[in-house]
Amino acid sequence: MACAKTLAAAGHKVILAARNVEKLQEAADEIRASGGEAIVLAIDLASTDSIQAAIKQAIAEAGPIHILVNNAGVTKDGLSMRMKVDDFNSVIQTNLVGAFVCAQGVMSGMMKERWGRIINIASVVGEMGNAGQSNYVASKAGLIGLTKSLAQELASRNITVNAVTPGFIETDMTAVLSDEVKEKMLNIIPLKRFGHAEDIANAVGFLAGEGASYITGHVLKVNGGMYM
């Protein structure tokens, strides 16, 4: 949501898409109240049909898509020796395959316009690994590789593709962790604080703007120095 608000504040018409449209509607209302434009769509990133239908609807309602932010992050944690293959596959399907299908769905329009920004939200653990998250780590590491491949394929059409790798960010996903785990994380973050959603949104806003027009295939670490 913070990314959507940042892009809206920069003058972009934003489309918020997820399974939980009620949460999105709250963010869209805030954007509209601030004078921005926002559309809410339902999408299931585990379903190729759902993604394709949502992109078609988005283009019909808002016109060509110039900026795509892939920000899926489902988890089904567990040690590898006990992890169900279905749990591995479902995380890969949403976090990695879903991002690919989204990118594939918008790139032809960007190529026609000869301008585009694709920004993939990966994770610090996609770079450093993390015990008990082999499926999530694989999906985010794969997203970094996808970013670099798409950057090479689309650069000639003035489309940049970059990744942002958040560190420990205060979100609903991290709120459920124990105080012991949080303290352990703080001890390995040089800046000695957890990140905020706005820290990621600021990075996305930069990569989406003209100031980043000569940056592509880059992995922007927003982790407080947790991994360098």
The catalytic residues are 136
The rounded distance, in Å, linking the Cα atoms of 42 and 187 is 39
Radius of gyration of the chain from its Cα atoms, rounded to whole angstroms? 17
The two tokens of residue 72 are 């899926």
The rounded distance, in Å, linking the Cα atoms of 224 and 228 is 9
Burial (CB < 10 A; 0-12, 13-18, 19+), residue 176, is exposed
Cβ atoms of residues 142 and 103 within 8 Å: no
The rounded distance, in Å, linking the Cα atoms of 147 and 154 is 11
Residue showing tokens 């999530």: 136
